[in-house]
Each structure stands twice: as structure tokens, then as C-alpha cells.
């Protein structure tokens, strides 16, 4: 008789629990699903013994943790004397993937009880592929995760999922006497987790596109009035979300979803640019003046996202001690180097502060990468426009720089842009873009000297490097210039 497949196929239950705790401390701030209180309760009740879907989710979470943050699991394995069983972190990653596949089984998409946690499982397996430089795996499973959300209808707006919102959100001036809408098949936990998964996929899709690894397997067309994206997740921690009610976030505690949404808004700031490229093609010059206005609005939107963020998510200059500049690395003196990375004091005075720092590193890397992407987009289009101008004496190029048919559609996007005091002549100039490059590198240097590298590590080397190194061609000459200064 074969041994039943349970969490102990990964390792001793104490080891699995320690890795699960690390997932919620270090990875959950960036991918805030599944619902933590529910998952912890199910784990305590050993749901993995009789629920294959739960076991698959658990294995995928641990796989994502190990792939993104291998240094921490190595120390946990050493504590449980299992390092010989997993000589490299990939050995544990591959075991988790195997257990996940076995637990799901063939044809799992046909299950009648398919739920939002299945979408989360698919995303984590995809994320594991991305963190270990297996992009085809990321493409396949991220697409599968989005497909599951669409099958469940969790990608839809509130008025479709919950036409009667009254009574669901105490403390928000809604009629608390009205019962939840029956017959929809989704409780509020599922709806909120579905939104978080959707927007996480959205961020992954946009960020891969920034460094040229966009893929056709996953397509997210620009939102339209008839087919909008779902709302952002509510900015409350998991402890405030129940199946039939969502309570207000305590006023003295910034929700982790505030940081999550801030990162999402950065990638959502240039949807108008994506809409024009979706219609006319990337790199196409069809009306340079209109396109400049779109790029200007997107860049302003991106920079505006960080205005008014809570102090917990704001980069502050590192405090100087004894007249010495702040280090990019934690103090490794006086002990084993690995210990310094996992002494909670290195992350702040509490796990919560560590989570804010992890989110902060992710947010600022995202914003710098996006600003650099928009500046590069400007110069690429500028060069294309200059080439067209050079051909303006040709009979076939007499209409250069005049709007193509349908280009006025962009005006609809531009009308949605918040008004500014800038006149059309002030919208964007070449000099402004050169100045923006300078500002980007200065902001980058400030971020790197204000956030410990250890807080960037949970984002995974591949993720951080894609955001930073993909833009080095923009920043390299500035680095050299400032080094000379």
C-alpha cells in the first residue's frame, strides 16, 4: 500500500511549518495570497492529509519561497539537519513542484470545486519558474492562473460580482441591515484574493514587457468602459476579511495591501501608452505631438503615485552613524555571515517593519524601472520620427507627422489625464527627457543607499535584476559621470 501524499512528503512537519511562516513574513507582502488566517487554520487542522488542492497550494508556496529567497530556507534546513537531502535550493524547489503536480493530478481544471486557491497555486508554480530563469514555465502557469480566474468570474468588477454591496462593509456608511447577495458562489475572501492574484499577474505581465520579455500566451488588453479591470484590492489586512464581512483597517496600522496597491498603480500609470501601442503597434510614429502628450501624461502619473504614500513606505535618507556613510549590506562582523541576514534586527524591530521594507524596495525599484522605460520609449519614438522627417522630401513621405486615420482616438485617453498647469508647449521637450535621466540615476543612488540589500532579496535576484539591470543602458553613462564628479 502506497504512502499517503501529505505535507510530510516535503519534510518534517516542523520544517514545513517554519517554511510556511517564512513565506508569510517575506513573500506574502509581495504576493498577498492566500488568505493567511484561513490558511493557517487549515494547516493547523492538517487539511493537507485529505485535501489534495490544499497540499498543492502549500507545496507551491514553499517552492516560491525557496526559489525567491534561497538563503533563508538553507538555514531552516540546517536547523532540521536536512541540508544533505537538498544539496542545492533547486533540489527542494523541484521536490515541491513534483508534489504539487502529484497532488493536483491530471485534469484538475475539470474539477467542479475549482476555486481561487487553484489560481494561486498556478501562479506560485509560474513564479517559481520565473525566479529560476525558466520563463516558459512562468508563461504557461501565469496564463493558467488567469484562465482559472476568468473561469470563476473573479476578474469582473464589483457590480457584476456583488450587485448588492450593502451590509458587507461595516463602518463605511452602507446599510448594514442588508444581507450579502446570495447565489453568486463567491464569498468576500475569494473575491479579495481573486483581485490580488489578478493584479499580481498584471504587474508580472507589465514588468516582463519592460525588459523585452513580453509573451503572447498572456494577453491583458487595455481596460475599456465595457470591459474594465477589477477594482484594486481593499486596503485591509487579512485579519479584517471574513467570508461575509470586511472590517475597516485599524487606523494605527498601515495595511500591507496599501504597499501592494502602490506598486500596482505604478504599472497602471502608463495604460494609455499601452492602449496606443495596442492599436497602432509598438514603436510606430503616427502622430508625434499626440504621442508626446501621452508619454508626458504617463510619466507624470508614474511620479505622482508616490505622492502621499505612508511614511512606512517612504524612502528616507539613511541615518549616518559616527560620520560614516550607510552600507548597502548588513553588518556581518562578529559572527557567521548568514546569521546577520536573518537576525530580525537586520530587518527592523519587528517582522511587520521588515515587510514594509520589503515592499518599499519593490515599490521604488518598480517606479525607477517604469520611469526609465518611459524615457527610453520617448527616445525610441523620437529617433523613429527623425528618420521619417529625413525622408520628408520623398513623394511617399509627404504626409509625415500628420495624424493617421483614427489617431484622434488618443484624445479620449488624454481627456482622462488629470489637468496640469503646463501648456501644450511645455508638455515635453528633449531637454526635459535628458533631465529626467539625471533624476532617475540620482533617485536610484538614493534608494540604494537608503534600503538594505537584504530587503531586496525576497523579491528574488531575477526579479530585482530585471528591474534594475534592464535599464543599465540608460543609466550607465550617468553612473560614470557621477563617479567622475
Alpha helices in 170-328 (DSSP H): 188-210, 256-268, 271-280, 288-304
Instruction: Write the DSSP string, 109-148.
Output: GG-TT--HHHHHHHHHHHHHHHHTT-HHHHHHHHHHHHHH
Residues 274 and 264 in one domain: no
Residues 286 and 225 in one domain: no
Domain boundary among 250, 268, 286: 268
Give percent of the chain above pLDDT 90.
Answer: 47
The pTM score is 0.82
- Partners of 324 in the β-ladder: 321
At residue 168 the predicted structure's pLDDT band, cuts being 50, 70 and 90, is very low
Most confident range (mean pLDDT) of 15-29, 145-159, 384-398 is 15-29
Q: Count Cβ atoms below 10 Å from residue 218 Cβ, excluding itself.
A: 21
Q: For the purposes of burial, counting CB atoms within 10 Å of the CB of 223, is it exposed (0-12), middle (13-18) or buried (19 or more)?
A: middle
| Better-scored residue on pLDDT, 39 or 341 | 39
Residues 144 and 235 in one domain: yes
Q: Count Cβ atoms below 10 Å from residue 379 Cβ, excluding itself.
A: 14
DSSP code at position 84: T
For 151, the domain range is 1-268
pLDDT in tens, 337-365: 334 334 444 444 588 999 999 999 999 99
Residues 163 and 68 in one domain: yes
Residues 228 and 354 in one domain: no
User: By 3-state DSSP, what share of the chain in percent is helix, strand and coil, each rounded to 5?
Assistant: 60, 0, 40
Residues 256 and 283 in one domain: no
Q: Which helix (H) or strand (E) holds 57?
A: helix 52-68
- Reference 102, options 17, 4, 33; nearest CA is 4
Give percent of the chain above pLDDT 70.
Answer: 72
Residues 337 and 291 in one domain: yes
Is the peptide bond preceding residue 142 cis, with omega within 30 degrees of 0? no
d(CA 140, CA 143): 5
Residues 280 and 150 in one domain: no
Residues 56 and 179 in one domain: yes
CA gyration radius, the chain: 24
> What is the total count of domains within the chain?
2
Q: What is the mean pLDDT of residues 407-431?
A: 53
- Predicted pLDDT at 64: 96
| Better-scored residue on pLDDT, 169 or 78 | 78
pLDDT in tens, 311-335: 999 987 655 433 333 333 334 344 4
pLDDT in tens, 109-147: 998 889 999 999 999 999 999 899 898 899 899 999 999
Domain boundary among 235, 268, 301: 268
pLDDT in tens, 445-469: 888 887 777 777 776 544 444 455 4
Residues 251 and 284 in one domain: no
- Predicted pLDDT at 460: 55
Residues 316 and 180 in one domain: no
Domain boundary among 268, 298, 333: 268
- Reference 70, options 90, 54, 85, 53; nearest CA is 90
Helix axes 52-68 and 36-44, enclosed angle (nearest 10):
120
Q: Which helix (H) or strand (E) holds 241?
A: none
Residues 142 and 205 in one domain: yes
d(CA 434, CA 180): 54
Alpha helices in 155-219 (DSSP H): 158-161, 188-210
DSSP code at position 243: S
Positive or negative: CA dihedral 6, 12, 13, 16: negative
Amino acid at each position: 500500500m502506497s504512502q499517503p501524499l501529505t505535507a510530510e512528503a516535503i519534510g518534517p512537519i516542523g520544517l514545513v511549518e517554519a517554511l510556511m511562516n517564512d513565506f508569510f513574513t517575506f513573500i506574502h507582502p509581495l504576493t498577498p495570497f492566500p488568505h493567511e488566517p484561513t490558511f493557517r487554520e487549515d494547516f493547523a487542522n492538517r487539511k493537507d492529509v485529505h485535501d489534495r488542492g490544499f497540499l498543492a497550494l502549500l507545496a507551491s508556496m514553499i517552492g516560491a519561497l525557496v526559489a525567491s529567497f534561497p538563503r533563508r530556507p538553507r538555514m531552516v534546513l540546517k536547523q532540521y539537519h536536512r541540508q544533505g537531502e537538498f544539496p542545492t535550493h533547486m533540489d527542494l524547489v523541484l521536490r515541491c513542484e513534483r508534489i504539487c503536480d502529484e497532488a493536483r493530478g491530471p485534469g484538475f481544471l475539470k474539477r467542479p470545486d475549482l476555486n481561487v486557491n487553484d489560481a494561486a497555486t498556478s501562479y506560485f508554480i509560474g513564479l517559481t519558474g520565473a525566479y529560476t530563469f525558466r520563463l516558459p514555465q512562468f508563461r504557461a502557469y501565469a496564463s493558467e492562473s488567469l484562465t482559472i480566474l476568468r473561469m470563476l468570474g473573479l476578474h469582473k468588477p464589483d457590480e457584476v460580482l456583488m450587485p448588492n454591496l450593502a451590509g458587507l462593509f461595516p463602518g463605511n456608511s452602507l446599510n448594514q441591515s442588508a444581507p450579502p447577495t446570495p447565489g453568486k458562489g463567491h464569498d468576500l475572501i475569494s473575491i479579495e484574493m481573486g483581485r490580488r492574484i489578478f493584479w499580481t499577474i498584471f504587474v508580472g505581465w507589465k514588468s516582463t514587457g519592460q525588459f523585452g520579455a513580453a509573451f503572447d500566451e498572456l494577453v491583458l488588453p487595455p481596460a475599456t468602459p465595457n470591459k474594465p479591470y477589477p477594482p484594486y484590492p481593499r486596503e485591509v489586512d487579512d485579519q479584517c476579511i471574513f467570508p461575509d464581512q470586511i472590517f475597516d483597517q485599524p487606523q494605527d496600522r498601515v495595511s500591507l495591501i496599501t504597499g501592494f496597491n502602490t506598486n500596482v498603480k505604478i504599472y497602471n500609470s502608463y495604460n494609455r501608452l499601452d492602449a496606443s501601442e495596442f492599436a497602432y503597434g509598438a514603436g510606430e510614429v503616427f502622430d508625434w505631438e499626440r504621442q508626446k502628450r501621452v508619454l508626458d501624461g504617463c510619466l507624470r502619473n508614474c511620479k505622482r503615485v508616490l505622492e502621499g504614500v505612508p511614511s512606512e513606505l517612504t524612502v528616507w535618507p539613511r541615518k549616518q552613524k559616527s560620520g560614516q556613510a550607510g552600507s548597502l549590506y548588513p553588518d556581518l562582523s562578529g559572527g557567521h555571515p548568514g546569521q546577520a541576514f536573518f537576525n530580525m534586527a537586520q530587518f527592523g524591530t519587528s517582522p511587520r517593519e521588515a515587510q514594509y521594507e520589503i515592499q518599499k524596495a519593490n515599490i521604488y525599484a518598480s517606479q525607477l524601472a517604469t520611469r526609465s522605460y518611459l524615457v527610453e520609449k520617448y527616445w525610441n519614438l523620437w529617433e523613429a520620427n527623425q528618420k521619417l522627417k529625413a525622408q520628408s522630401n520623398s513623394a511617399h513621405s509627404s504626409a509625415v507627422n500628420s495624424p493617421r486615420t483614427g489617431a484622434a482616438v488618443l484624445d479620449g485617453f488624454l481627456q482622462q489625464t488629470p489637468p496640469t498647469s503646463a501648456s501644450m508647449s511645455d508638455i515635453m521637450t528633449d531637454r526635459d527627457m535628458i533631465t529626467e535621466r539625471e533624476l532617475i540615476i540620482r533617485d536610484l543612488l538614493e534608494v540604494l543607499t537608503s534600503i538594505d540589500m537584504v530587503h531586496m532579496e525576497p523579491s528574488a535576484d531575477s526579479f530585482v535584476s530585471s528591474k534594475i539591470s534592464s535599464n543599465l543602458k540608460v543609466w550607465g553613462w550617468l553612473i560614470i559621470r557621477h563617479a567622475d564628479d
